[in-house]
Amino acid sequence: MYSFRNDYSEGAHPKVLQALTETNLEQTRGYGLDPRCQKAADLIRTLCAAPEADVHFLMGGTQTNLLVIEALLKPYQAVIAAHTGHINVHETGAIEGTGRKVIAIPSPDGKVTPAMVESVPELHSDEHQVVPAMVYVSNTTEIGTVYSKAELEALRTCCDKHGLLLFLDGARLGSAMACGDITLPDLAALTDAFYIGGTKNGALFGEALIFSKPREDFRWYMKRRGGMLAKGRLLGVQFQALLEDDTFLNSARHANRLAIRLREGISALGYPMPVTSPSNQQFPILPNETVKQLQTMGYEFEIDRAVDPGHTQIRLVTSWATPEDAVEKFLQNLSACAK
């Protein structure tokens, strides 16, 4: 059986592990001031066609989100996010923990649109209200949807019009890039900050944060929140291993392909999948009985929500590590369940 619970259920892509092993006894300075990190940062700047970009390596998504928002916003400024946004619902108030407010707006598909941004009442407020100063988006979103380049361009235009920064959470950026039309140079050009998620696409851990302009004091923010890894070079080594060839994108393509295979197989069995996700998270609606049968067989996955008294929406996630036959076997087993 198999766990489709998440894309961080296993360790690292073998190439990453190999790089860590090969460099293990090298001596370097700590805290990311080593040649490995510098090389990885240079590589990212090249891949982004952004020679001025400021690159930092962090250990996880929540840490990255809170640090970017704390560093870019003043205390009374706020960040606009979809109601389903990770910073709004799955970070235990980490953004508020820095003193900043998240302005949550309802979103049917997990994405933020210019119209949604412009609906925020605080956009033209006085000193009795927070000042919206940033739009936060995730790509892929928390429900697997993906921004097109045109959508991001429209958001950028909207942000410019209202003096807002645009920050893109790329915890699952590999999956988004593998199925969408957005490139790293697009992201560097359209956002003020974004990150390339390693944790969910082959690294042991790590997020590569890119500021489009230099942020001279970001390392002080990092250290102050405990976000500076002593053996920082571990992050440089991993990102170099992932990005110096096609490992990063190929890993995401593999995950997406198996997710689409799941989607098609489940749909073919007649189960509804109302969330239109082209990426590595899929949300089928199954009878409660079927959910239990799958769990009894040993399958693991997240329960997303109760749809009605008899049906549950579950979440299936694939990754670089998901074996092809785990997917096929799952479809066979699902097919065998009483409908």
Distance CA 35, CA 238 (A): 13
Query: What are the C-alpha distances in Å from 167 to residues 67, 80, 214, 295, 312?
Result: 12, 10, 15, 38, 33
Shortest gap between Cβ of 22 and its own copies (angstroms)? 10
Shortest gap between Cβ of 115 and its own copies (angstroms)? 17
Distance CA 265, CA 335 (A): 9
Look up residue 90 and give its two tokens: 């799955």
Look up residue 175 and give its two tokens: 């999956």
Name the residue nearer to its own copies (CB basis): 202 or 265.
202
Among 45, 56, 101, 263, binds its own copies (CB under 8 A): 101
Residue type, 91: E
Distance CA 168, CA 317 (A): 21
Which residues in 120-139 contact its own copies (CB under 8 A)? 121-122, 127-131
CA within 13 Å, CB half, 15: 17
Can residue 93 be called a binding residue for its own copies (CB under 8 A)? Answer: yes
Shortest gap between Cβ of 185 and its own copies (angstroms)? 28
Among 47, 123, 153, 205, binds its own copies (CB under 8 A): 205
Shortest gap between Cβ of 27 and its own copies (angstroms)? 4
Which residues in 60-89 contact its own copies (CB under 8 A)? 60-67, 70, 74-76, 78, 89
Among 28, 288, 293, 333, binds its own copies (CB under 8 A): 28
Which residues in 157-196 contact its own copies (CB under 8 A)? none
Identify which of 151, 153, 166 has the alpha carbon closest to the alpha carbon of residue 69: 166
Is residue 207 within 8 Å of residue 242, measured between CB atoms? no
Name the residue nearer to its own copies (CB basis): 82 or 102.
102
Name the residue nearer to its own copies (CB basis): 67 or 275.
67
Shortest gap between Cβ of 176 and its own copies (angstroms)? 18
What residues form DSSP beta bridges with 280? Answer: none
Among 68, 80, 82, 94, binds its own copies (CB under 8 A): 94
Can residue 26 be called a binding residue for its own copies (CB under 8 A)? Answer: yes
Shortest gap between Cβ of 153 and its own copies (angstroms)? 30
Q: Which stretch binds its own copies (CB under 8 A): 38-46, 59-67, 252-260, 265-273?
A: 59-67
Among 37, 53, 55, 59, binds its own copies (CB under 8 A): 59
Which residues in 216-255 contact its own copies (CB under 8 A)? 217, 219-231, 234
Identify which of 209, 195, 214, 223 has the alpha carbon closest to the alpha carbon of residue 54: 214
Which residues in 246-305 contact its own copies (CB under 8 A)? 300
Can residue 100 be called a binding residue for its own copies (CB under 8 A)? Answer: yes
Can residue 116 be called a binding residue for its own copies (CB under 8 A)? Answer: no
Residue with tokens 């990005």: 243
3-class DSSP state of 317: strand
Distance of CA 22 to the CA centre of its chain: 28
Name the residue nearer to its own copies (CB basis): 126 or 336.
126
Instruction: Name the H helices within the chain.
Output: 14-22, 35-47, 61-72, 86-89, 94-97, 114-118, 149-162, 173-179, 184-190, 218-224, 233-243, 247-268, 288-297, 324-336
